[in-house]
């Protein structure tokens, strides 16, 4: 175990590590300037437990029991009988010449089947397949993938199927949201594309590490959804090249975890000290002091993507970041909303570095007053 891993484990304390999935990694990469999320996610810390311990819980990405049951039922239908339904979709909707395939189950063998052993099995199976010239396709059910984020190896427990035909791997993403009259919810499709891009990058990284061609993993992803209001599956191809480029750019911009750890006191811990019922027992003020030692980069989008969104919003209440990223960038050098209003109305003289922003605010305020005066 490296020094970085030991330090991250110490930050997490006795609290169990929370595994990543493609959704959390996509959200993680979407805010590359946030040191707080970078560090907590790298350490596998449950941000929801911290938010609960601070009295500001937010539900992110949680589905109702009905939605979960519907999703599991749809996935089971698609994968029944050795993925017979999926093969039909690949033939009829995608045009892949699939007559028969091998099926490789990489799900947990039992309750003691740890993620590290599953990762090794997945790597062996996928790398062996990549080296093989066998013409018959192979379906890999629930492989464990690994992605390097900020120099830390992050394991992903995906809900996917990797399909290899000839010299090409395809990611198959099964989602339970419907395609109605040939159209699906654009937000859900975009989220599926972002998550699939994480899988594609992780698989390419695995092949590259094994000195194999990473381009064997296609940037075309197979999305499987129910048709209309039935449970009948249909499939479409998603081009995730744009999402891959965005993910690469965001990951490249992230500050390394090792450099972040150097800025922190050696005794810092985010352990929430769960009781036997799984509830945080650490003193909220003590926990808050620990969390606030790591700077955040809040924007309103965090409320829908990060469990600490409410905590960070409360921290910057009355400050410019609550107005969004565009406003924060436009008002560079101004910290508080009160200061911005005073500069706009002439109640405060700008500092040397604020003159340009102050002129912008005063012009905007003048336009606002003129517009309001016309309708009064």
| Cα separation, 190 vs 173, whole angstroms | 13
Which comes out higher in pLDDT, residue 178 or 165?
A: 178
Using pLDDT thresholds of 50, 70 and 90, give the confidence band for residue 318. very high
For the whole prediction, is pTM greater than 0.75? no
Instruction: Please report which confidence band the pLDDT of residue 315 belongs to, taking 50, 70 and 90 as the band edges.
Output: very high
Mean pLDDT of 322-336: 88
Contact (Cβ atoms closer than 8 angstroms) between residue 168 and residue 211: no
Residue among 69, 64, 65, 74 at smallest CA distance from 231: 74
Q: Which pLDDT score, from 0 to 100, does residue 80 have?
A: 85
pLDDT the model gives residue 231: 83
Per-residue model confidence (pLDDT) at position 1: 62
Output the pLDDT for position 111: 65
Percentage of the chain lying above the pLDDT 90 cut = 38
Minimum mean pLDDT range among 109-113, 179-183, 283-287, 358-362:
109-113
pLDDT value of residue 29: 65
pLDDT of residue 63: 64
């Amino acid at each position: 175990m490296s020094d970085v891993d030991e330090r991250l484990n110490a930050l997490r304390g006795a609290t169990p590590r929370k595994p990543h999935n493609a959704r959390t990694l996509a959200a993680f990469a979407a805010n590359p300037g946030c040191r707080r999320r970078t560090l907590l996610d790298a350490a596998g810390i449950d941000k929801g437990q911290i938010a609960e311990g601070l009295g500001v819980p937010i539900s992110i990405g949680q589905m109702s029991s009905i939605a979960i049951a519907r999703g599991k039922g749809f996935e089971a239908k698609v994968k029944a009988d050795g993925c017979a339904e999926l093969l039909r979709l690949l033939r009829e909707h995608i045009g892949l010449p699939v007559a028969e395939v091998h099926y490789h189950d990489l799900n947990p063998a039992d309750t003691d089947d740890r993620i590290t052993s599953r990762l090794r099995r997945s790597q062996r199976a996928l790398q062996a397949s990549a080296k093989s010239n066998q013409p018959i396709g192979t379906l890999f059910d629930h492989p464990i993938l690994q992605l390097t984020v900020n120099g830390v190896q992050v394991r992903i427990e995906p809900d996917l199927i990797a399909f290899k035909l000839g010299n090409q791997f395809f990611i198959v993403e099964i989602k339970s949201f419907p395609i109605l009259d040939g159209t699906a919810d654009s937000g859900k499709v975009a989220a599926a594309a972002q998550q699939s891009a994480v899988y594609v990058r992780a698989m390419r990284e695995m092949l590259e590490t094994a000195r194999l061609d990473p381009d064997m993993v296609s940037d075309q992803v197979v999305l499987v959804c129910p048709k209309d209001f039935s449970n009948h599956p249909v499939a479409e191809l998603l081009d995730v090249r744009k999402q891959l480029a965005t993910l690469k750019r965001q990951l490249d911009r992230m500050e390394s975890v090792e450099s972040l750890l150097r800025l922190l006191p050696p005794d810092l811990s985010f352990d929430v000290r769960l009781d036997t019922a799984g509830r945080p027992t650490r003193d909220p003020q003590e926990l808050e002091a620990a969390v606030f030692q790591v700077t955040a980069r809040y924007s309103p989008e965090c409320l829908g993507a990060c469990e600490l969104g409410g905590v960070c919003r409360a921290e910057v209440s009355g400050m410019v970041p609550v107005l969004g990223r565009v406003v924060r960038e436009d008002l560079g050098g101004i910290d508080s909303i009160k200061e911005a209003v005073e500069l706009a109305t002439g109640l405060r003289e700008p500092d040397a570095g604020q003159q340009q922003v102050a002129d912008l605010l005063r012009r905007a305020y003048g336009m606002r007053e003129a517009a309001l005066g016309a309708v009064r």
